[in-house]
Amino acid sequence: MDDNAKKTALRMIPYGIYVMTTTGDDGALAAATVNWVTQTAFNPPLVAVGVKADSSVYEMVKGSRGFALNMLGKGQQGMAFGFFKPSEVDGNKISGEPFEAGAETGSPILQNATASVECKVVEIVEQGDHHVVVGEVVNAHVAKAPEGRPDDAILEMRELGDNVFYGG
């Protein structure tokens, strides 16, 4: 396989930017920026999220069997970059962002996120360096209704700068 062709082709897949959050059984919190996300079913509503297998957020999601997926909107690049590194909790803030516990999973709902969904894990596919977590959406929050198409409101990978890529 031509490595450059593979990298270029895989980088043509568009990605939104999200922050996955969870609460461990011991009450600890974890959060990470993720972008391999898709809805996989309408009934029940399911989403699939690719999560780095050696990350703390993955370990907590695997143990707690629940998570929140916080959607970042246009102009929220700073929030996305804030969750690229390990999260820090200070009172009711995680990595500097205010949150509240989700009603269904207890996972942090970022108050400044455009929207979020709470999910209960239904399956984990453990393949490769990122594992696929499939979650059933059990609650949804919309902080501000988007103008126009909802999918136009999401922060996209390409908006993080010319040198930020996934794929390949």
Q: What is the mean pLDDT of each run of 10 residues along the chain (168 residues)?
A: 82 85 91 92 96 94 96 92 88 94 96 96 96 97 90 85 65
Q: Which helix (H) or strand (E) holds 31?
A: strand 29-34
pLDDT of residue 158: 81
Task: Tell me how far apart the alpha carbons of residues 130 and 48 are, in angstroms, rounded to a whole number.
Answer: 12
Rounded distance between C-alpha atoms, residue 27 and residue 110, angstroms:
17
DSSP string, 53-98: TTSHHHHHHHHH-EEEEEEPBTT-HHHHHHTSS---EETTEETTEE
User: What does the alpha-carbon distance between residue 135 and residue 164 come to, in Å, rounded to a whole number?
Assistant: 27
Domain limits, the chain:
16-158
Q: What is the pTM of this model?
A: 0.91
Question: Position of tokens 């996955």?
Answer: 20
Predicted confidence at residue 165, as pLDDT, reads: 59
Separation CA 63–CA 33 (nearest Å): 19
**Range 16-158 has CATH code 2.30.110.10:** yes
Amino acid at 35: N
Neighbours of 124 (CB within 10 A): 16
Rounded Cα gap, residues 114 and 73, in angstroms: 6
Residue 168, pLDDT score: 54
Peptide bond into 86 cis (omega under 30): no
